[in-house]
Amino acid sequence: MSSTLMREAAPSRMSAPVPRPATAPATHESDLYRLARKAGIAVQWTDAYDQPQVVQEDALRAILAALGLPCASPGDCRDSLAELDREQAVGYLPPLLTGVLHQPVALPMHSRLHGLSCRVELENGARLMLLISSDLNRPPTLPPIDVPGYHRLLVAGHILTLAIAPARCYTIADALADRGSERGWALAAQVYGLRSDSLNPARTIYGDGGIGHFGALKALAPMAAEYGAAALAMSPLHAMFAADPGRSSPYSPSSRLFLNPFLIDPAGILGEEAQAQVLAEGGSEMIAAHERLQQASLIDWQRAGAHRLTLLRRLYALFRTEQAGQGQHAHHQAAFKAFQSAGGAALHAHALYEAYSHHLAAQGVVGGCDWRQWGQAGLHPETPEMRAFAEQHAGEIDFHLFLQWQAAHQLGQAQQAARDAGMPIGLIADLAVGADNGGSQAWSHQAEIAAGLTVGAPPDRLAPQGQNWGLGAFSPLALRRTGYQGYLAMLRACFAQGGGVRIDHVLGLNRLWLVPQGLDADAGAYVSYPQQDLLRLIALESWRHRAVVIGEDLGTVPPGFDQALDTAGVAGIRVLWFQRDKTGFLPPADWSDQAIAVTTTHDLPTVAGWWSGADIAWRDRLGHLDEGVAAAQEQRSQDRRQLWHSLVEQGRASGPLPEVAQALVEEVSEEHHPATLEDCAIAVDAALDMVAATPSPLAVVPVEDILGLSQQPNLPGLTDPHPNWRRRLPADTPQLFAAYAARARLERLRRVRGCGPKET
């Protein structure tokens, strides 16, 4: 999640705050509460202390209004109830229905289609004449359909889409079967943190200029594949805000439909010579800035982002010159036009958003990257004012179209490099739980977004006041009414990034805690989502893209949800720090074989950081240790002993517990990026062995743990001075595994996971 976000409480030993008092249940059955329940809002919920809570009326009214259901008066409530009733009236059919391959397809009971004949037009052009079941005591059903895809159902004057999905997703086991193995491993990396210092040592001004890019990702994939890695998991690559590079959390994007242009490799556009040319044309000041940003241990997003964008503008201008449009570059022009055509109106709307944001930022307008501040002129992409702006600033819009084309092209090259190197999966993309309500996606897809609501989490032991993550969400009612068009576009955009997708906060397929704008985080409510339809659409797109699906399922899980994920072939996530019971850490054999196994995540301490207490030191420094530093360190000391005992008991470590030097705990500084902590090396090695030995189909290890680094990418709930999403890796990508310890860890992963020969 983003730098200011935290999770619903996962299993931990944190001290528990005083429970909230139970909320008295409603004493009357009002139209408001009936409307809320019918709209899928849980008017009652049970908190982390098993205390019943009731959502208050002001919150219900705000949520219902955001879902497009007026409820200010009893008459409004009755009208909105009638509107929902119409969607269950005789003869009503939604624009899209889902079904499962080789199974009868259930139609809505209220449709009263029993006994009718219908026609199904398959994607492949074939036509089926089918008879709907006639038993009036059961929902009408179609006979099984044996072809997956998006078909057309024509019945009783209705034409709708019939999405027939395989029973489960394309799984990790399916991908690994191609190379005859049952267990694989993956490297995880924050793309922005990769370095490209010396890909061309002869040219001192050739480098990344302070931000990692797709070129470095392309170089890293074969390096991991050399040690048998099946995949390379990435931080989210969603489109951010080009006019405001400082908004850097990859989990708070502008749009999940497009890519982050700040991750484009400038040298990958027209070649190294072209990058050298535009840098030289920029003069000594630009070259000096490039080298200064290049050498920094932390990303200065505002400066480095602006510098990257300047480079890209100069390269775009070079691309658009008459000389660049001839000869060897002619096919690039044709490819660019084809990309624009395929992207359609959605791509153009995103480019328009970026261009208008840039226009406002250049004028110093506050709120330029929030369409809600644009007034009537910018209310949506099709206003007369927006159309006029698009005509007058066609060049700027073309530039942002160019950026999306280059980002997609370079990411595709990285995935191809991964597959060519032998990875059966390749890149695993990360799908954020939402997007900024003021961003591009919310602007151009307003009919699908629950305006005025943000995603969060209810009060729990980790966050007694609740959490507001500041991210917009789809309206579940609008999803059904629009035939899931926006959701499918988002899925396809993410699946197109590689050979797999990690769905952040996958619990959102079942329900989301939505908070009305202006209210406290604890004044939200759980809103249910069409889980069955969403899982079927994910499975269908998973097979169409031959891409695996991983669901981040940490936190409070609704009953039966884990089983639903297992049935759908969505792999969960099991984190070393949470794999314990009352007696200590679980042995590898007790870990799930339906979930990926990870040492840690971007929101949690690295192994070296956990062992040394670097996260505790940070929280102490910033005043975020409610229990006090002494108590936190004592608890961590007990946890270290338990983990070491488990490692020794399993034969993955030996000898007495390694001591942790106090200097390590105190070694916390915004500018300092510690190298490998030798005091922690033994613990890192043993922890990696433990995770590798699990029956999980995929063991995922962050590059920070391969290198033995102590600092994590993100410390949730904290911003300055902790450098969230700013840390750069300590070595150039080709030299990342130069140290013996790193190579030894990679080799052990290959050997323990049984991923093919490497030893040299």
The span from the CA of 389 to the CA of 352, in Å, is 9
Q: pLDDT tens, 435-466?
A: 999 999 999 999 999 999 999 999 887 788 89
Are 703 and 731 in contact by the 8 Å Cβ rule? The answer is no
Are 181 and 717 in contact by the 8 Å Cβ rule? The answer is no
What's residue 719's pLDDT? 66
The span from the CA of 229 to the CA of 105, in Å, is 40
Domains in the chain: how many in total? 2
Confidence check: pLDDT of 382 > 70:
yes
Confidence check: pLDDT of 301 > 60:
yes
Residues of 149-159 as b/e, b for ≥16 C-beta within 10 angstroms? bbbebebeeee
What's residue 677's pLDDT? 59
**Residue 137: burial class (beta carbons within 10 Å; 0-12, 13-18, 19+):** exposed
* Beta-carbon contacts of residue 671 (< 8 Å; ≥ 6 apart): 297, 298
Confidence check: pLDDT of 756 > 80:
no
The span from the CA of 538 to the CA of 557, in Å, is 19
* Beta-carbon contacts of residue 78 (< 8 Å; ≥ 6 apart): 31
Mean pLDDT, all residues of the chain: 91
Confidence check: pLDDT of 358 > 60:
yes
Domain that holds residue 109: 102-165
Q: pLDDT tens, 209-219?
A: 999 999 999 99
Are 231 and 244 in contact by the 8 Å Cβ rule? The answer is no
Phi, psi of 468 (to 5 degrees): -125, 110
The span from the CA of 533 to the CA of 448, in Å, is 16
The span from the CA of 326 to the CA of 455, in Å, is 49
| One-letter identity of residue 227 | Y
Give, in order, the Cα–Cα distances in Å from 585 to each of 277, 484, 495. 56, 42, 35
CATH number of the CATH domain containing 124 = 2.60.40
N residues, the chain: 760
What's residue 658's pLDDT? 83
**Residue 388: burial class (beta carbons within 10 Å; 0-12, 13-18, 19+):** exposed
What's residue 624's pLDDT? 82
Confidence check: pLDDT of 3 > 80:
no
Is the Cα dihedral 687, 692, 693, 699 positive or negative? Answer: positive
Confidence check: pLDDT of 2 > 50:
no
DSSP string, 260-285: -GGG--THHHH-HHHHHHHHHHHHHH
Q: Which of 179-183, 538-542, 665-669 has the lowest mean pLDDT?
A: 665-669
Q: pLDDT tens, 547-601?
A: 999 999 988 788 999 999 999 999 999 999 999 999 999 999 999 999 999 999 9
From 552, 683, 561, 548, select the one nearest 613 (Cα to Cα).
683
**DSSP conformation class of 386:** H
653 domain-assigned: yes
DSSP string, 308-352: HHHHHHHHHHHHHSTTTTSGGGHHHHHHHHHHHHHHHHHHHHHHH
Confidence check: pLDDT of 198 > 90:
no
Adjacent-strand bridge partners of 152: 121, 161
The span from the CA of 386 to the CA of 534, in Å, is 34
144 domain-assigned: yes
The span from the CA of 145 to the CA of 722, in Å, is 54
* Beta-carbon contacts of residue 406 (< 8 Å; ≥ 6 apart): 261, 264, 268, 269, 312
Q: pLDDT tens, 108-146?
A: 999 999 999 999 999 999 999 999 999 999 999 999 999
Q: pLDDT tens, 246-276?
A: 999 999 999 999 999 999 999 999 998 899 9
The span from the CA of 489 to the CA of 342, in Å, is 13
**Three-class SS of 139-161:** CCEECCCCCCEEEEEEECCEEEE
**Three-class SS of 503-569:** ECCHHHHCEEEEEECCCCHHHCEEEECCHHHHHHHHHHHHHHHCCEEEECCCCCCCCCHHHHHHHHC
What's residue 226's pLDDT? 97
Question: Per the confidence metrics, is the pTM higher than 0.85?
Answer: yes
Give, in order, the Cα–Cα distances in Å from 212 to each of 274, 397, 499. 19, 25, 21
Phi-psi region of 426 (alpha: psi -120 to 50; beta: other; left: phi over 0): left
The span from the CA of 98 to the CA of 95, in Å, is 10
691 domain-assigned: yes
Pick from 165, 189, 205: which residue ends a domain? Answer: 165
User: How far does the chain reach from its first CA to its final CA, in angstroms?
Assistant: 39
What's residue 568's pLDDT? 98
What's residue 200's pLDDT? 53
658 domain-assigned: yes
Confidence check: pLDDT of 230 > 70:
yes
* Beta-carbon contacts of residue 317 (< 8 Å; ≥ 6 apart): none
What is Dmax (Cα atoms) for the chain?
81
315 domain-assigned: no
What is the percent of the chain with per-residue pLDDT over 90, rounded to a whole number? Answer: 80
What's residue 315's pLDDT? 96
Residue carrying the six token digits 């639903």:
564
Six-digit token string for 172: 């990790």
Mean pLDDT (whole number) for 289-302:
95
Pick from 165, 183, 200: which residue ends a domain? Answer: 165
646 domain-assigned: yes
Please state at what angle helix 57-66 crosses helix 31-38, rounded to 10 degrees.
50
**Neighbouring C-beta atoms of residue 751, cutoff 10 Å:** 17
What's residue 60's pLDDT? 96
What's residue 475's pLDDT? 98
| One-letter identity of residue 336 | F
Confidence category of residue 47, pLDDT binned at 50, 70, 90:
confident
E-state strands within 111-218:
117-121, 127-131, 141-142, 149-155, 158-165, 184-189
* Beta-carbon contacts of residue 486 (< 8 Å; ≥ 6 apart): 445, 448, 474, 479
Pick from 165, 187, 211: which residue ends a domain? Answer: 165
